[in-house]
Structure 1
């Protein structure tokens, strides 16, 4: 007579459960090894390692840059490793919604700047990465030479957002009002050739403009500018160029800290 309570075969965990359990154990063991120093990970594979400003960008560069920009001390430490020369500016308030903190006066960079720039540390750090890892490679690709100098239209200015007819009264403050933005108008190559946004952004579509006799618009110049614009979107939070509106027809607006945009 069969038993009223037959013995059931032990249930087997599905293979996916076993795989998940093994993975969790491996992760826990790896974490413990890292914590105790028994296992080291190369900085380029470690998301918590300091940003290496000189290293070629990889999948972790954006994350490390965001961490550096969010922490004043970490940002200044990264900026010091760029080799640029700057003076730390005292925090100050210059008006309602205007002023800056954790800012520097950038005196020298890998390229000539003309007049020094007052920039927040996050913008200065992004500027270095963009110049080194986006702008210079674009110049080499299209002209086989480096950018020697950059023409800018300034950085800090206590004003509102410019929507096309100057600083609009009643509008929100521009990122320039906190030294979190810089405007770039032109580049000069080591050969002396000058490439400007107002003339060269749409070189193949427009008729020759001022100074075209010595610097005729070319597709190569437009290519450099478009690559520089695209590269800026990797290192700045917000990027506006000539295609955005008439107010930006002659420059790149590069900023950090605001809404993410690439236009």
Structure 2
């Protein structure tokens, strides 16, 4: 009889614990690896992994952009000399991405677009407010799709499939301009801001390269969604 009572009490305790765990997961879906990705969720330890998984599920990726009200236009597939894409979109003015991208309407893979949405909303804009008390009006970039090899190598770059973007700098609403080329090596708020947004990108992209990596990245951040077990962040 005592054994039966013990088993009943133990089962009740486990059931109660499981219910509490389920409630915790429901309140913190970004903190466990098996919950579906939503761009409405905060960034969590498994967000980069979930974003990377979108490479094999373009319809789901497009659904996430729609749900997050990211203004975008799917691009027709392109194939040319070991280059091209079948999951690219253009990010259009307006919608959830508040700062304009310059040049405008870049075409990039859907997983990069999804990661860029979270980076802009949860990393870049809060960092600009903390360091400068101003919002970001524009994000300058050096491009996305380019049919070429990795510099100095024979393998195709992630740019060859529109799976990368090179970020050059930022212009704030108060007119302040911040560039990787001019401000990375300084000891001021601009440099601190650049390091914060670089580090934040390490939670979202597969590859994150900055001036700390090599001289070829002295004037920009390279972000891509290469398939990796864990992000490569330098």
TM-score tier, shorter chain, comes to 0.7 to 0.9
> Any idea what the Cα deviations from partners look like across 1:139-172, whole Å, max 9, x if unmatched?
1111111111011100000000014xxxx4xx10
Measure the CA separation in 2 of the matches of 1:227 and 1:80.
Answer: 28
After superposition, give the CA deviation of every residue in 1:165-211 in whole Å (9 maximum; x if it has no partner). xxx4xx1000000000000001001101100000100113xxxxxxx
Counterpart residue number, 1:202: 185
Secondary structure of the 1:123 match is: helix
Shift of 1:44: 3.5
Structure 2 runs not aligned, ≥5 long:
none
Instruction: Confirm or deny: 8 A CA contact 1:44 1:60 kept in the other structure.
Output: no
Higher relative CO (Cα under 8 Å, sequence separation at least 6) belongs to 2
Distance 1:158 1:66, change over 3 A: closer
Q: What is the distance in 1 between the residues matched to 2:165 and 2:48?
A: 20
Which of these two proteins has the greater Rg computed from alpha carbons? 1
Mapped contact 1:239–1:252 kept (Cα < 8 A): yes
Q: Please name the residue that 1:101 is paired with.
A: 86
1:262 to 2:221 alignment: no
- 8 A Cα contact 2:144 2:163, kept in partner: yes
**Is contact 1:84-1:110 (8 Å) kept?**
no
User: Given the superposition, is the C-alpha separation of residues 248 and 60 from structure 1 closer, same or farther in structure 2, using an over 3 Å criterion?
Assistant: closer
Give the number of equivalent residue pairs. 217
Kindly report the root-mean-square deviation, in angstroms, between the aligned alpha carbons of the 2 structures: 2.9
Structure 1 or 2: larger strand share? 2
1:231 aligned counterpart, secondary structure: helix
Deviation, 1:74, is 1.4
Quick one: distance in 2 between partners of 1:178 and 1:59? 26
Query: Does 2:100 align with 1:129?
Result: no
- Structure with higher helix content: 2
**TM-score w.r.t. length of structure 1:** 0.73
Alpha-carbon distance in 1 for matches of 2:68, 2:110: 12
- Alpha-carbon distance in structure 2 between the residues aligned to 1:191 and 1:50: 38
- 2:215 corresponds, among 243, 246, 250, to 246
In structure 1, stretches of 5+ residues that fail to align are 1-11, 205-218
Runs of 4+ in structure 1 off by over 3 angstroms are 43-50, 58-70
